[in-house]
Amino acid sequence: MKIFKYTLLVAISALFVACAAPLDRSVVPMPAAAPTIQLGDYDTFTLDNGLKVIVVQNNKLPRVSYQLTVDRDPIFEGDKAGYVSMAGDLLKKGTTTKSKAEIDQAVDFIGADLSTYSSGAYGAALTKHTDALLALMSDIVLNPAFPQDELDKLKKQTISGLASETTDANSISGNISNAMCYGLDHPYGEPQTEKTTEAVTRDDLVTYYSTFFRPNISYLTIVGDITPEAAKAQAEKYFGAWEKAEVPSMSYEKPALPEGNKVCFAPLSGAVQSVIDVTFPVDLTPGEDDAIAASVMNSVLGGGVFGGRLMQNLREDKAFTYGARSSLSSDPVIGSFSAFASVRNEVTDSSIVEFLYEIDRLASEPIEDSTLQFIKNNMTGSFARSLESPQTIARFALNIERYGLPKDYYATYLSKLEAVSKEDVLRVARKFLRSENAYITVVGNKEEVAEKLERFSYDGKVKFLDIYGRDYVDLAPAPEGMTGKDVVLNYVEAIGGVDALAKVKSTSMSGEMDMGQVISLTQKTKDNSMLSMEMSMGGMVVMQQVFDGKAGMVAQMGQKVAMEEEELASMKKQADLLYEAKLDDYGTTAELKGIGSFDEKPAYVVEMTEKDGTVSTVYFSVENGLKVFETSTESTPQGDMVIATTYKEYMEVKGVKFPKVISQTVGPQSFVITYNEILVNPRLKNSDFSVN
Amino acid sequence: MEIIALPLNQKTEPFMEFFNTPQKDCLTFDPPKNETMKTRNLFVVLSMLLGSSAIAQLKTVEFEEYDLKNGLHVILHEDHSTPIVAVTVMYHVGSKNENPERTGMAHFFEHLLFEGSENIGRGEFSRYVENAGGVLNANTTNDRTFYYEVLPSNQLELGMWLESERMLHAKVENEGIETQREVVKEEKRQRMDNQPYGSLLSETMSRAYTEHPYQWPVIGSMDHLNAAEEADFIDFYKTFYVPNNAVLSIAGDIDIDETKKLIKKYFSAIPRGTQEIPRPDIIEPAKTAEVRDTILGKDQLPMIVQAYNIPAQGTEEYYAVDMLNQVLSGGESSRLNRAVVDEKELALFAGAFSFGLEDPGVTLAFSLANMGVAPEEVEAAMNAEVERLKNEPISDEELQKLKNQIENNFVSSNASMAGIAESLANYHMYFGDANLINTEINRYLAVTKEEIMDAAKKYYTENNRVVLYFMYDESLESSN
């Protein structure tokens, strides 16, 4: 019995033990011993032609990838912006022996990936197909043909793509932030437009390719199921014949910060959200001493964790947005900071307040120890997770080579991260963040949002931009019922009216322009049908134009050329003071686009289309009806050029007003003509207008 | 398996669109800056629509699976190559399970389930994971909701604790509901309203289905979300968030036995659900006439979309349709790309992919017209390619190309632990066979030329389709 009892007790106590440890769910599980994080190895070697090869062997999958990186400096493309990336696209659209269709078929047949871009190419395939892949890749890189028809096709697609971007808030945001941050005259800030795309020629691509696609500035990164020996043999075989050459290097001025915070706004019809970006250039190069501390600092703000301050503040606390983040990017030329979110229209201003608050807070007070630890933990984990992909080791190796980082930069990354203190974070926040010299770019609904943002600009004004980051011409609707012709006739009235103009039989105007040397200019008209113009320098006539009503000629440096039909038609209009009063007779139409502004004063914007299709946009002052500005595009041997003319200081002579000062810009040049004598009805003879 | 990943951004609605931002400290490699800046953004986005991915691999993925007494299905995959682990839970609930008066609940719930639990305070869920060096996220589709954490492998237990808390007694307070309501509205504005062609899928699905719940978008109706009350939330949680409606799938640097012990510790006491889980048995009636419409919006270029109703994923005919799409748009040499983009130069982009779903889904063919090209002209060129497939079989060489592409995709997929965990859960949940991760390729390779032709004839018909033109709304010119 005793025994029984004992057994029962044991049984009961065993039962008790079984349920004895009900899980205490309030206890957060402790981590097990930390696993070691091991960085895989890589091999490097250089071919005779200077091509540096990086090999990362990883046999997990029967697959190999090849990435070719041409490490050139950024290129400013100017009025042909886009040609560099088009050259990259076109690489795989035809070689000296294969058409695009043949290349596509060959790539797809082996189930491979193959893409090309302006600074290289990427290919990947199953191990058994790598020779077929490399034969194609080598042909594309060494023997591209840049077929004209493929370029034409690409241009068409590019222009369509650009058109579709005109209403894409995120694309526009990227454009205007780059334009502001780096400037329109910087390779990172210049826009590619329809016009710059049109201007690209095959020669541009060929020149780009032959100048920059050289092995001695390039890296070939091979990753996957391959031994270093086999990789070396492949590199030699497929890229050994690539010829090296001297490659030019380029450098650029560092973009300046704005004087104070400046709101830059690109209007987008019907937008339901504002895309906000607080951005400025940052002088941060890859791998520099402060790079890791800067990365910690950015993570605290919003660079990689949901627990970042921007996300917690703007999303989890205020529900302004689906996500708010920041990035701090290093770059050998110039880095940048960016803090961004898409927020609903009515909280756009409140969101900017929070962005600036968080940026400023990081640069004014040290972060908490727990925050620092949190970010370090997360970055350590992020580093470990990134190693899941064998491409990561390859990237590390490439960065070490490209940016001249110490060989152990990544091997010691975690200990460098661990060493970052909160003082470091504060120091780099002060060094890199600018809560008072930032561009605040916004793409959104102008009516609902823009005005409320004025207070964020240091000068109290919102700068309006077009979708490429250029100044935005903002048109208000014109009064109901008013037409373009009304505005033009109003101008005729403003300069004296038809009656006064009809009394003008001849004119003579003399003036000067200063182009380093003074150039004198005389211009005469007679009977509203004849015209002459003469330019002289130091008493020598350098250019002469004469039109007798029917024929015309241009004399330049002693050479006479007869005017052609197009020029004659233009002369005819210029000779006629009543041209604006007789638009119908000349077949010119005038369309009123709305009210814009010129020199911060309201002006009617009229688009005038001449019989031959020439279009010019003319601004007429709302206040006094006078013509103040005109812009048109003219074809020149250097390509299309925009001609912009400004009319100032109208003076009255015998009841008719003439602009005394005319300034004109043609492409990159500009000059100002100042008239010092304007005569109405001087005695002029028909022989003054003889073309012979 | 899908030949083509479900790509449109409305397919899933993640809790946060967040982890795409790389750390910019040399940990990532970016192409030179002026390159990315001049990328024609939309084109890239559209390329991603077709980004082929996700087939299984030839190398066998080993795994173990079993059920707990409460009905929770467990799948474990051990791989020590990187010291990380993916802890994932897939719930068999998506937008199709919703009450038609409460659309958007499944996705909204996904947001709410990051709010906390009896033992996890508001906002601490992500904090625990990130503090441990991990990432987390979730997404919702028409058919299921998926939660995951990827953690350093020594934090496996943390992942179990978090997911078991979520399953056992998630806690949602009013503050969280109100906040997430607004966040979801912003998500809708960002991902649909303010996104090029952001309404593409919702406009298509609302016409492709008249009866079946696939007709409403995953993100649902904002009015419905506003109307939802506490009782709705409790009911939804008790019905769907139960172990017998879930798959716990774990992949990575784990010890199987240890992991099983932890699973028992954290999940075995969670009670089985008591309510019946509603599964819609609505059969979408066959279309009898083409549905055709024009949608006006702010996007500049005409987008032409054709949606054909197709059988459910996993059926033999589904694989044939998927192969057909591969013929049409797998790679630059594919037929749509060659004809519509390269030769006739009618479109910037042309593609086709199947929107494979648990119930009969749709397959989409679409083109983004070049500037100045009439949509009718593009559509005619697309139709010509489909007609060709009905009338003549593809060549032997083309079939071989498809097979090579499929093999390549299989090998390349399942490269990450999170991906393997998700695929295993998917295959179990939809087909009751997690081993399809290894074998589904055979179903593709078994498709014959004749079956591809038959699929074209049977499903790519005029009466079985919705045709939409997304056109620029000229009236927008005058405003703003």
Distance separating alpha carbons of residues A567 and A577, to the nearest angstrom: 17
Residues of B whose CB is below 8 A from A105: 333, 401
**Smallest Cα distance from B287 to chain A, Å:** 33
> Any idea which of A384-398, A406-420, A652-666, B286-300 has the lowest mean pLDDT?
A652-666
Cβ pair B411:A178 closer than 8 A: no
Return the pLDDT at A554: 86
For range A18-44, the mean pLDDT? 82
For range A326-344, the mean pLDDT? 95
Residue A313 lies in a domain: yes
Give the SS3 label for residue B465: strand
Residue A217 carries which DSSP code?
G
In CATH, what number is assigned to the domain containing residue A572? 2.50.20.10
pLDDT band at B15 (very low <50, low <70, confident <90, very high): low
Contact B141, B2 (CB under 8 A): no
In chain B, residues 69-108 whose CB comes closer than 8 Å to chain A: 81-84
Return the pLDDT at A271: 83
- Find the CB nearest A112 among B40, B298, B408: B408
Distance separating alpha carbons of residues A162 and A172, to the nearest angstrom: 10
Residues of B whose CB is below 8 A from A25: 118-119, 161, 164-165, 168
Residue A420 carries which DSSP code?
-
Cβ pair A28:B19 closer than 8 A: no
**Smallest Cα distance from A639 to chain B, Å:** 22
For range B393-403, the mean pLDDT? 94
Given a cut of 70, is residue B21 above it in pLDDT?
no
pTM of the model: 0.76
Return the pLDDT at B383: 96
Given a cut of 60, is residue A20 above it in pLDDT?
no
For range B137-162, the mean pLDDT? 95
Instruction: Give the helix/strand (H/E) hosting A104.
Output: helix A100-109
- Find the CB nearest B150 among A104, A294, A385: A385
Cβ pair A192:B157 closer than 8 A: no
Residues of A whose CB is below 8 A from B152: 31, 34-35, 381, 384
Return the pLDDT at B441: 92
Cβ pair B154:A445 closer than 8 A: no
Return the pLDDT at B9: 30
Distance separating alpha carbons of residues A155 and B341, to the nearest angstrom: 13
> Any idea which of A213-217, A354-358, A462-466, A569-573 has the lowest mean pLDDT?
A569-573
Distance separating alpha carbons of residues B86 and A379, to the nearest angstrom: 17
Residue A118 lies in a domain: yes
Number of structural domains chain A divides into: 3
pLDDT band at B413 (very low <50, low <70, confident <90, very high): confident
- Find the CB nearest B331 among A107, A169, A447: A107
- Find the CB nearest B32 among A119, A164, A272: A119
> Any idea which of A392-401, B23-32, B76-85 has the lowest mean pLDDT?
B23-32
Name the β-bridge partners of B296: B471
Q: What are phi and psi of B208, to 5 degrees?
A: -70, -25
pLDDT band at B477 (very low <50, low <70, confident <90, very high): low
Task: Say if the ipTM goes beyond 0.85.
Answer: no
Residues of A whose CB is below 8 A from B407: 111, 126
For range A485-497, the mean pLDDT? 92
Contact B33, A188 (CB under 8 A): yes
Q: Is A663 exposed, middle or buried (0-12, 13-18, 19+ CB in 10 A)?
A: middle
Residue A475 lies in a domain: no
For range B3-8, the mean pLDDT? 28
Mean of pLDDT over chain A: 89
Are A531 and A650 within one domain? Answer: yes
Residue A289 lies in a domain: yes
- Find the CB nearest B119 among A26, A275, A409: A26
In chain B, residues 385-404 whose CB comes closer than 8 Å to chain A: 397, 400-401, 404
- Find the CB nearest A109 among B160, B341, B404: B404
Cβ pair A63:B401 closer than 8 A: no
Q: Find, among A390, A284, A44, the residue nearest to B26 by Cα.
A: A284
Residue A174 lies in a domain: no
For A495, the domain range is: 484-689
Give the SS3 label for residue A325: strand
Residue A569 lies in a domain: yes
C-alpha B354, offset from chain centre = 11
In CATH, what number is assigned to the domain containing residue A99? 3.30.830.10
Render pLDDT for A511-526 as a digit per residue (tens, 0 to 9). Answer: 988 776 788 899 999 9
In chain B, residues 118-137 whose CB comes closer than 8 Å to chain A: 118-119, 123, 126-128, 130-136
Return the pLDDT at A600: 62
Are A451 and A574 within one domain? Answer: no
Non-local CB neighbours of B231 within 8 Å, separated by 6+ positions? none
Given a cut of 50, is residue B312 above it in pLDDT?
yes
Give the SS3 label for residue A109: helix
- Residue finishing a domain among A239, A254, A279: A239
For range A354-383, the mean pLDDT? 95
For range B270-279, the mean pLDDT? 94
Cβ pair B405:A108 closer than 8 A: yes
Residues of A whose CB is below 8 A from B127: 307, 374
Are A628 and A515 within one domain? Answer: yes
Q: How many CB atoms lie within 10 A of CB A582?
A: 14
Render pLDDT for B217-273 as a digit per residue (tens, 0 to 9). Answer: 999 998 998 898 888 888 999 999 999 999 999 999 999 999 999 999 999 999 999
Return the pLDDT at A60: 87
Identity of the residue numbered B242: V
pLDDT band at B158 (very low <50, low <70, confident <90, very high): very high
Residues of B whose CB is below 8 A from A151: none
Are A222 and A266 within one domain? Answer: no
Cβ pair A344:B408 closer than 8 A: no
Q: In sequence order, what E strands does A564-622 have?
A: 589-598, 601-609, 615-621
Cα torsion through A163, A164, A169, A171, rounded to 10 = -80
Q: Is B37 exposed, middle or buried (0-12, 13-18, 19+ CB in 10 A)?
A: buried
Domains and CATH numbers, chain B: 42-49+61-267 (3.30.830.10), 291-475 (3.30.830.10)
Given a cut of 90, is residue B410 above it in pLDDT?
no
Given a cut of 60, is residue A192 above it in pLDDT?
yes
Return the pLDDT at A284: 95
**Smallest Cα distance from B96 to chain A, Å:** 24
- Residue finishing a domain among A436, A464, A492: A464
> Any idea which of A140-149, B63-72, B319-328, B347-356 has the lowest mean pLDDT?
B347-356
Residues of B whose CB is below 8 A from A126: 407-408, 411
Return the pLDDT at A637: 58
Instruction: Give the helix/strand (H/E) hosting B422.
Output: helix B417-431
Pairing of β A218-224 and β A52-57: parallel
Residue A446 lies in a domain: yes
Residue A18 lies in a domain: no
Are A460 and A492 within one domain? Answer: no
Q: Is A482 exposed, middle or buried (0-12, 13-18, 19+ CB in 10 A)?
A: middle
Give the SS3 label for residue A375: helix
Return the pLDDT at A594: 87
Q: Find, among B352, B374, B360, B339, the residue nearest to B307 by Cα.
A: B352
Are A71 and A130 within one domain? Answer: yes
Are A228 and A373 within one domain? Answer: no
Are A521 and A640 within one domain? Answer: yes
Return the pLDDT at A516: 65
Q: Sheet containing B362-369: which strands, arranged edge to edge?
A: B291-297, B465-472, B303-309, B362-369, B347-355
Are A437 and A557 within one domain? Answer: no
Residues of B whose CB is below 8 A from A389: 415-416
- Find the CB nearest A269 among B127, B154, B480: B480
Are A333 and A191 within one domain? Answer: no
Name the β-bridge partners of A515: A517
Residues of A whose CB is below 8 A from B22: 304
Cβ pair A319:B300 closer than 8 A: no
Cβ pair B34:A125 closer than 8 A: no
pLDDT band at A574 (very low <50, low <70, confident <90, very high): confident
> Any idea which of A256-265, A335-344, B44-53, B198-207 has the lowest mean pLDDT?
B44-53
Cβ pair A109:B400 closer than 8 A: yes
Render pLDDT for B22-61 as a digit per residue (tens, 0 to 9). Answer: 333 333 333 333 333 333 333 333 333 333 333 333 578 9
Calculate the alpha carbon distances from A421 to A414, A424, A428, A499 in Å.
Answer: 14, 5, 11, 83
- Find the CB nearest A319 among B179, B330, B405: B179
Give the SS3 label for residue A29: coil
Q: Which is more confident, B291 or A672?
A: B291
Cβ pair A409:B330 closer than 8 A: no
pLDDT band at A474 (very low <50, low <70, confident <90, very high): low
Are A133 and A224 within one domain? Answer: yes
Return the pLDDT at A224: 94
Are A55 and A144 within one domain? Answer: yes
How many helices (H) does chain B have, and how many strands (E)? 17, 11
